[in-house]
Structure 1
Amino acid sequence: MNFSQLYEQFAALENPGFWQEAYMNFYRAWFEGNRWMQYFEGLGVTILVTIIALLIGVVLGVLVAVVRTGHDQQRKGHHNPILALLNMVCKVYVTVIRGTPMMVQLLIMGFVIFKSSRNHSMVGALALGINSGAYVAEIIRGGLMSLDPGQTEAGRSLGLGYLTTMRCIVVPQAFKAILPALGNEFITLLKDTSLISVVAGTEIVYFAQAIVARTYEPMWPYLITAVMYLILVLIFTWLQGILERRLRASDRR
């Protein structure tokens, strides 16, 4: 007996029990009309949006953190006006992004700045990336500022430029310290992809809402969505754990 036959058998009952009714609701939410394909279509968009937003967030975060750290670590009597201007821009960016809700930022990006765009998922990815960049910047800046300034001075004394010193000496050491915080931020970013449905981004929640509108039964579509996000988070956490163990193993050598 396959799933559709079992559904028809339960549907023929005059007074189906709790489990029979639960199965019928699950069947309509997952199997009927091959709706499971819609969930996986949304899953693909969710993963794509997460990757794009992650790349944007990391690039922005590193740039902002390097600028702000470079400004804060200037020697006494040395004042670079260009660096001061860039630092001011970075501080405004971090303050505004961290001080406003993610939902409001998405609405502004989707219905104000890019109101004529039809690629709603990419608009959502851009908004998430810009939001994540502010938090990543503060995480990285905290890691860079926690290191001994002598590390930077040693690199500069060897004739390395500031960016080369940061890339080859400072950032690799700071990365090990900030990895857990970065991992938490990336997990938050993954879960925040569920918000892009407010600007018609076609991720998992978008399709779950569409299925609810057809079946008039919200429990199973949203429960399936929650399980899919949970699996993604568990996979990401597992990969993060592997990376942390490898970094600890490299420290012992």
Structure 2
Amino acid sequence: MKLGISPNLQTGMFATFLKSKINCEIVFMPVSKLSEAVRNRELDLALIPPLDLHNGGDFCVSGNLGIVSDGAFSNNFLYFKPGEQTVPKITLKGDLSFHDITLLRIVFRELYGIDPETEQYEGDIGKVNNLLVAGDDNYLTGRFELGMNIVEEAVECLNFPLISYILVSSVEETLEAVHRKVRELNDSLYEFGSDYISTTGVSERTLEYLSENLHHLSFELNDEIIEALKSLISTPYYFNLTEDIPEFTLV
């Protein structure tokens, strides 16, 4: 069984603990390629950001397992140019997908009533005013303390827990097989999470911060989280960012 992830601290930890229970092969891919790989049956399972369901495809979504954070753990941080009064443009750096950009637009509409233009980072940091960085660079450099935490802001704006990643498959039976073997994953998270984080190369200060905030992270879903997931997936439609609300099969 192949599990696809875009590697970062959260997905790597989830995949490591899941592999210890179902002995799957972990495949690294850019986040924007994961949905297509599941559709084409190149992957049996994948952790994808939930708003990427808007990219199309007939997906089965686990109702038991995923990654939920209320803000302490985030993959995206925005660094503003000092003294900037307006934010007409944001430069994007790292492994981003439709989910990340859409969530950013929703946050800015809610907070500032604007829809900033976005552009890809091309390597010249001197030309960048406002930079959105995706991935572990935020934690490895320690800069996350200086940036706007997009997950935290989204939770405040939307008033429900944010599901960062959902576990999907093209085959319902695949998820059912996982559910039979994996009843709980949070036990591993809270028992071994600090040990895992210590292997990622973060500083002692960052390790202490993340370890103290492990309780803000969950690898299990419940009825409240499922309702929040449905609300999140419909949000781009109500902001006129998509033309419809994607359907999916909850397993």
Give me the TM-score of the superposition, normalised by structure 2.
0.24
Higher relative contact order (CA 8 A, sep 6+): 2
Q: When the two structures are superposed, what TM-score results if normalisation uses the length of structure 1? A: 0.24
Give the number of the structure whose residues are more often helix, by fraction. 1
Q: Which has the larger radius of gyration?
A: 1
Q: Which of the pair is proportionally richer in strand?
A: 2
